[in-house]
Chain A
Amino acid sequence: MSAVLQSLVNQPYKHGFVTEIESDIAPKGLNEDTIRLISAKKNEPEWLLSFRLKAYQKWLTMTEPEWQNVHYPKIDFQAISYYSAPKPKKKLASMDEVDPELLRTFEKLGVPMHERAALAGVAVDVIFDSVSVATTYKQKLAEVGIIFCSISEAVHTHPELIQKYLGTVVPVGDNYFAALNSAVFTDGSFCFIPKGVKCPMDLSTYFRINTEGSGQFERTLIIAEEDAAVSYLEGCTAPRFDTNQLHAAVVELVALDNADIKYSTVQNWYAGDENGIGGIYNFVTKRGLAKGKNSRISWTQVETGSAITWKYPSCILRGDNSVGEFYSVAVTNNYQQADTGTKMIHLGKNTRSTIVSKGISAGHSNSSYRGLVRIAPTAESARNYSQCDSMLIGDQCGAHTFPYIQVHNNSAIVEHEASTSKIGEDQLFYFSQRGIDAEEAVSMIINGFCKDVFQQLPMEFAVEATKLLSFKLEGSVG
């Protein structure tokens, strides 16, 4: 039986190819000069350089975290090149001007951008390695006052907003990898939804790591002002490499009074081969500040890739009646490791949070849910509901749950439910007795298991996620 599962799981990575585009790569190593070089390359103002240098100084005093339930060889931060950009050509006004080689890459990924943009009505801020190449639909968004551009562009065009919000949700010294990111981030997305505006379309960014050995330090900042709303989509694929690549992004969200930010991720970084060689280290800090009253921050993630995933998209519920949500599916196979979850920090009155986490482990992989629910003394009548379900496929994998609950206010109601199930022989036999083969059976069982999360995703993402999961788990059951 397991042989069928194995053959299904072990399909080669579809997106494994390297695009040959001339890259401008900084020499390997990290010191103040590297940071000055990055800042100079990007013509940054003095305040941003000092932001970076301050973060670097913090980073030097910190040590790499070891508490997480993942194992990997020590990273040599001096062996990484901290800047890599396609050679800047002239500014691009339309998709036609984008390097055809780059467009072909997206074709191979099945993301024909112009089509995606036109058909799906999605504005795609394309990140190729570290520099934004083209931004579509920008003008249309600009008509309603929405700013959606690369963060390095925003540094020049809207410095007051960047200065006001950058590092306010994730301070430069927040954690080891966030400090590193703050020192050396190269690019990322910036999104600003002004007061009273409901963003008319989902905003989407496709990330792609390209140059071997280059670190990826994306920085994303999304701000929704009073009564504003936005749905943001992030999707990742990466080409196949044998050396591990570090990805340490920081995402900050700020929601003011009555604002609503929905952030959805489908993550498919290269996970390494079936023997656990290669793959991306995805060490990400994502945090949203529900600053205003009645604001809402909702994270939905489908994590299928990376050799190691270490991320806890979190919500700080400061505004009264604010709402935090975390819906997650994490799939690990072969030798992948994932330690992921969330933090819900309740500060305001009547704050509510929901956590739905689904972990699926196959092969020799290990998946951990780690979550913190903290009810501060000020959080009168706060409520939390957490549900953590794990599913095991085969008998070589592991699933772990580490819930941390800290309640400092007697009026709080906190619920936690957890379950572990196994796709077993009997389940598969039931399907096969109805003529359904193992592959389809697993796909159906998994999709049923993840339904509560998938239904939170925007439509086209939900379809993608369903396919991705089936693909990832093909052959792991049989």
Chain B
Amino acid sequence: MIVKNSKTLLSVEGLRASINGTEILKGIDLTVKSGEIHAIMGLNGSGKSTLAKVLAGHSAYEITGGTVRFEDKDLLELAPEDRARAGLFLAFQYPIEIPGVANTQFLRLAYNTIQAQRGKDELDPLEFDDFVREKMKLLDMNPDFLDRSVNEGFSGGEKKRNEILQMALLEPKLSILDEMDSGLDIDALKTVANGVNQIANKDNATILVTHYQRLLDYVVPDFVHIIQSGSIVMTGGKELALELETRGYDWVTANKQSIAGAVA
């Protein structure tokens, strides 16, 4: 939702980043205010997932230009764990498997780390168990999840639910969801989308990184940005995603100048 007097959470200006000497992001500008939901759409290789990882601080990428402010902080100066503790969350496209580590143990460690950072009470295993079970209802998750090893043997849909569960637990200020819809059937997509909608409020913000419009039927964005070859070439409202759906990405390539001009 677009809220009056909302404050700016994320401010990206001219961000450039490369991996192994190849420039992927070529000057990204993006402003996200509290209460807003943004969708970043693009083809494979357009740089949309790179943008997500760069904002979260993945060490494989080298920042070659631009600035990123997160609230009052210089985000690029912070280590990945400090970005997380400051309230930035990335739901992974491919969540990592950690054999032998019970999900509940991992979730509690993450939760308590963030709680400690916020000066709030940490939960012991029993308290946490009650707390996490309540959150799991939101995502229609089986309590068996808690005892299984983190993401090990999870189906695609289970992994994505587990990511959104972490988002629900950690209550980030800014969530970046990288390809949440990939590998989900329609029922799982609705459940995950429902979870995202319930977590969204006027004080936090969400960035959906996606290839398809499908997800946006269930999580309705306030802004849609189209990224191509490492820069945002079009920005519009939710109708831009629908337009893209009918006309395809080729249309963007052909019209980015005029449309960009029209939006501006």
Q: Which residues of A come within 8 Å of B, CB atoms?
A: 1, 425-427, 429-437, 440, 444-445, 447-452
Contact = CB atoms under 8 A, between A and B. Distances in A.
B257 interface: no
9 contacts: A427-B98, A430-B92, A434-B106, A434-B110, A434-B166, A435-B81, A436-B109, A444-B109, A450-B100
Given A430-B98, A432-B81, 15 more contacts: A429-B56, A429-B58, A430-B95, A432-B57, A432-B79, A433-B80, A433-B83, A433-B89, A434-B110, A435-B85, A440-B109, A447-B100, A448-B101, A449-B99, A452-B100
Q: How large is the interface on B (under 10, 10 to 19, 20 to 34, 35 or more residues)?
A: 20 to 34
Nearest to A437: B81
A432 B101 contact: no
Contacts of B100: 447-452
A429 B55 CA distance: 12
Contact of A429 (B80, B109, B110, B149): B80
Contacts of A445: 98, 101
- With most chain A CB atoms within 10 A of its CB, the pick from B85, B95, B170 is B85
A425 B60 CA distance: 8
B90 interface: yes
B11 to A, nearest CB: 21
A436 B101 CA distance: 14
B227 to A, nearest CB: 21
Interface in B98-120: 98-101, 105-106, 109-110, 113-114, 117
Q: Tell me what chain A mostly uses at the interface: helix, strand, loop, or mixed.
A: helix
**Closest 7 CB pairs between A and B?**
A448-B100, A448-B101, A434-B110, A432-B80, A435-B84, A430-B96, A451-B100
B155 interface: no
B125 to A, nearest CB: 15
A466 to B, nearest CB: 12
Contacts of A429: 56-59, 80
Given A447-B100, A450-B100, A433 B113 contact: no
Contacts of A444: 98, 101, 105-106, 109
Interface in B60-98: 60, 79-81, 83-85, 89-90, 92, 95-96, 98
B110 A435 contact: yes
Nearest to B115: A435
Contacts of B166: 434
B84 A434 contact: yes
Interface in B118-173: 149, 166, 170
A427 B113 contact: no
B117 A435 contact: yes
Contact of B96 (A426, A435, A447): A426
A435 B117 CA distance: 9
A166 B103 CA distance: 49
Contacts of A452: 100
A445 B95 CA distance: 15
Nearest to A450: B100
Nearest to A451: B100
A427 B92 CA distance: 12
Contact of B113 (A434, A447, A449, A450): A434
A283 to B, nearest CB: 31
A445 B97 CA distance: 10
Contacts of A432: 57, 79-81, 84
A437 B117 CA distance: 13
Contacts of B83: 433
A151 B133 CA distance: 56
